[in-house]
């Protein structure tokens, strides 16, 4: 069982659809993240949850709505997306360390295509 | 502002060659952390190393070595005797200690190791 599991791995949706991406971490970490990876762009941080509270929200359009019901699960709800939202969405988790930020553990990503 | 530059977009080497991936960072913080991640074709980013700004010792782990030089704000990564399995995109990342959990990633370097 991998440390961070994302489903679905691939998703194709129309601009009027509503769908959700799911992430589950089995590492006992206290922080979870959503990143967006587009072609030829650096990884973009979308949201961070620490102890189930959202602590970072980097000017992400409201058509992306995160949800963190507990420290092991993270969702990204999608609605009325645009074709430019097509990307690889990566979930990650980490554990804060006494000596500074812990490393991120990533899932394999959900490849989203918006038609 | 925090920034990570990886000037090499793509590198191709033949198996058994040594290769160095460059990483240059910018930050005004005196305490910060640097990371390297590997992203194989499967998609998930795999943690390779974490280094804090007070530890300038170079590190070696098998065929991997890292050269951290604060004077030039660089944290370069060398693979010795490269193998086909090293083919991946490699990301350098920075997070200042008081910057929450907002990791700043470089654009990545795609390494192709040819047999």
Smallest Cβ–Cβ distance between A105 and the set B47, B50, B108 belongs to: B47
> What DSSP designation does A97 have?
B
B16: left (phi over 0), alpha (psi -120 to 50) or beta: left
Say whether pLDDT at B6 is over 70.
yes
pLDDT at A38: 92
pLDDT at A101: 75
Window from A59-63, A72-76, B25-29, B97-101 with minimum mean pLDDT: B97-101
B31 with A100: Cβ contact below 8 A: yes
Count of C-beta atoms within a 10 Å radius of residue B108: 25
SS3 A85: helix
Structure tokens at A110: 């959900």
The segments of chain A whose pLDDT lies below 50 read none
Q: Is the pLDDT of residue B100 over 70?
A: no
Q: What is the mean pLDDT of residues B55-73?
A: 91
CA distance A80 to chain B (A): 26
Cβ contact, residue pair A42, B45, below 8 Å: no
CB pairs under 8 A between A and B: 63
Q: Among A39-48, A49-58, B4-13, B46-55, which range has the highest average pLDDT? A: B4-13
Indicate if the pLDDT at residue B28 is higher than 70.
yes
β-pair partners for A4: A25
**Chain A residues within 8 A of B46 when measuring between CB atoms:** 106
Find which of B37, B39, B45, B104 to mutate to test the A interface (most A CBs within 10 Å of its CB): B45
Per-residue HEC secondary structure of B23-58 comes to CEEECCCCCEEEEEEEECCCCCCEEEEEEECCCCCC
Q: Which two tokens stand for residue B6?
A: 């990886």
* The token pair that represents A80 in the structure block: 């009325």
Task: Give pLDDT tens digits for A93-106.
Answer: 998 766 667 889 99
pLDDT tens track for A76-92: 999 999 999 999 999 99
What pLDDT is recorded for position A98? 60
Which of B101, B104, B106 has the most A C-beta neighbours within 10 Å, making it the best mutation to test the interface with A? B101
Partner-chain contact B44 A45, CB within 8 Å? no
Number of neighbouring beta carbons within 10 Å of residue B38: 18
pLDDT score of B89: 96
The alpha carbon of residue B40 is apart from the nearest alpha carbon of chain A, in Å, by: 10
Q: What is the pLDDT of residue B98?
A: 63
Q: Interface of chain B against chain A, CB under 8 Å? A: 4, 31, 33, 35, 37, 42-47, 50, 52, 91, 95, 97, 100-103, 105-108
Beta-carbon contacts of residue A73 (< 8 Å; ≥ 6 apart): A22, A23, A24
Backbone angles phi, psi at B71, to 5 degrees: -60, -30
pLDDT band at B38 (very low <50, low <70, confident <90, very high): very high
**Dist. CA A53–CA A67, nearest whole Å:** 10
What is the reported pLDDT for B19? Answer: 98
């Amino acid at each position: 069982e991998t440390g961070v599991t994302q489903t679905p791995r691939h998703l194709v949706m129309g601009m009027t659809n509503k769908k959700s991406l799911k992430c589950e971490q089995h590492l006992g970490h206290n922080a979870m993240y959503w990143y967006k990876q587009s072609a030829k762009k650096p990884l973009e941080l979308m949201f961070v949850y620490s102890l189930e509270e959202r602590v970072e929200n980097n000017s992400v359009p409201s058509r992306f709505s995160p949800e963190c019901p507990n420290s092991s699960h993270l969702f990204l709800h999608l609605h009325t997306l645009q074709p430019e939202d097509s990307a690889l969405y990566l979930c990650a988790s980490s554990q804060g360390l006494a000596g500074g930020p812990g490393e991120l553990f990533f899932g394999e990503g959900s490849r989203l295509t918006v038609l | 502002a925090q920034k990570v530059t990886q000037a090499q977009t793509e590198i191709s080497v033949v198996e058994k060659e040594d290769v160095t991936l460059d990483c240059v960072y910018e930050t005004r913080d005196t305490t910060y952390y640097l990371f390297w991640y590997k992203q194989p074709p499967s998609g998930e980013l795999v943690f390779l190393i974490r280094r804090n700004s007070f530890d300038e010792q170079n590190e070696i782990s098998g065929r991997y070595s890292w050269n951290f030089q604060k004077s030039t704000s660089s944290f370069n990564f060398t693979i010795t005797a490269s193998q086909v399995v090293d083919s991946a995109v490699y990301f350098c990342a920075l997070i200042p200690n008081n910057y929450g959990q907002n990791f700043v990633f470089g654009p990545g370097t795609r390494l192709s190791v040819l047999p």
